[in-house]
Amino acid sequence: MKKFDTNNSDLKDKVVTINRVTKVVKGGRNFRFAALVVVGDENGHVGVGLGKASEVIEAIRKGKENAKKNMIFIERNSHDSVYHEIIGKFGSSSVLMKPAAEGTGIIAGGPVRIVMELAGIRNIRTKSIGSNNKRNVVNATMEGLKNIMTPKHVAKLRGKSVKEIFGGC
């Protein structure tokens, strides 16, 4: 698999959440921000990053850079959906992802929807199970997408052709 060019200008990014963290010290309160950012080209490449800084804009910038470093490629079928049902798990969050027919759209909650849109998946049904912590839900979604197997990959593992697996002649 070829390396994706992260300097490409067609990458889009969305901020999933911004957390404000307060540290009380002798002289008062120190505020810092943590930004969870998803970056993708809406054509199979997607990445998630976390940036922390004393200013919101700087935290978002760092999150974008981190997301570009952690990009993965997701194989999609002809309907711009996943090939098979899969459950992604991270921490106490789980995300169930099911393939959907053309025209279904993205049936997903907020954090999962952002990942799916930027990955270029246009038809999918999902259900978030367990903890609804946004960071864990996004990471569970990414873990599930990493583990998707294409029919070619399954056929290679079994030592058969794609036709033999699908019951063809």
Answer yes or no: is 95 within a domain: yes
CB neighbour class for 40 (10 Å; exposed up to 12, middle 13-18, buried from 19): buried
* Distance in angstroms (rounded) separating the CA atoms of residues 55 and 31: 9
User: Does residue 51 lie within any of the structural domains?
Assistant: yes
Q: Select from 112, 113, 118, 81 the least CA-distant residue to 98.
A: 81
Same domain, 27 and 94: no
Q: End-to-end alpha-carbon separation of the chain, Å?
A: 31
Q: How far apart are CA 115 and CA 119, in angstroms?
A: 6
| Digit-coded pLDDT (tens) for 73-92 | 999 999 999 999 999 999 99
Same domain, 62 and 83: no
Instruction: Give the pLDDT score at 46.
Output: 96
Instruction: Tell me which residue of 69, 67, 30, 39 sits closest to 51, measured CA to CA.
Output: 67
Task: Return the pLDDT at 2.
Answer: 47
Using 70 as the pLDDT threshold, list the residues of the chain that sit under it: 1-9, 168-169
**Parent domain of 30:** 12-72
Residue 60 domain-assigned? yes
Query: How far is Cα 49 from Cα 31, in angstroms, rounded to an integer?
Result: 20
Q: Is residue 167 part of a domain?
A: no
By three-state DSSP, how is residue 138 classified? helix
Question: What is the model's pLDDT at position 162?
Answer: 86
Q: Kindly state whether residues 27 and 90 are assigned to the same domain.
A: no
Task: Please state, for a pLDDT cut of 90, what percent of the chain lies above it.
Answer: 84
| Of the residues 72, 107, 124, the one at which a domain ends | 72
- Decide if 30 is inside a domain: yes
Same domain, 82 and 107: yes
pLDDT, residue 163, reads 87
Strands 106-107 and 93-99: unpaired
Q: For residue 141, what is the domain's CATH number?
A: 3.30.230.10
Would 165 be classed as within a structural domain? no
Predicted local distance difference test score (pLDDT) of residue 146: 95
Counted domains in the chain: 2
d(CA 42, CA 122): 9
Say how far apart CA 55 and CA 8 lie, in whole Å: 26
The confidence score (pLDDT) of residue 6 equals 62
pLDDT at 3: 55
Give the global pTM: 0.89
Same domain? 87 vs 138: yes
Q: Beta strand 28-40 with 45-53: parallel, antiparallel or unpaired?
A: antiparallel
The answer to whether residue 35 sits within a structural domain is yes
Q: Domain of 28: which CATH number? A: 3.30.160.20
Mean of all residue pLDDT scores within the chain: 92
Choose one of 46, 72, 98: the last residue of a domain.
72
| pLDDT confidence of residue 88 | 97
Contact 125, 104 (CB under 8 A): yes
The answer as to whether 161 is a domain residue is no
Tell me: do 105 and 124 sit in the same domain: yes
pLDDT of residue 165: 82
pLDDT of residue 166: 80
Domain boundary among 21, 41, 72: 72
According to the model, what pLDDT value does residue 142 have? 96
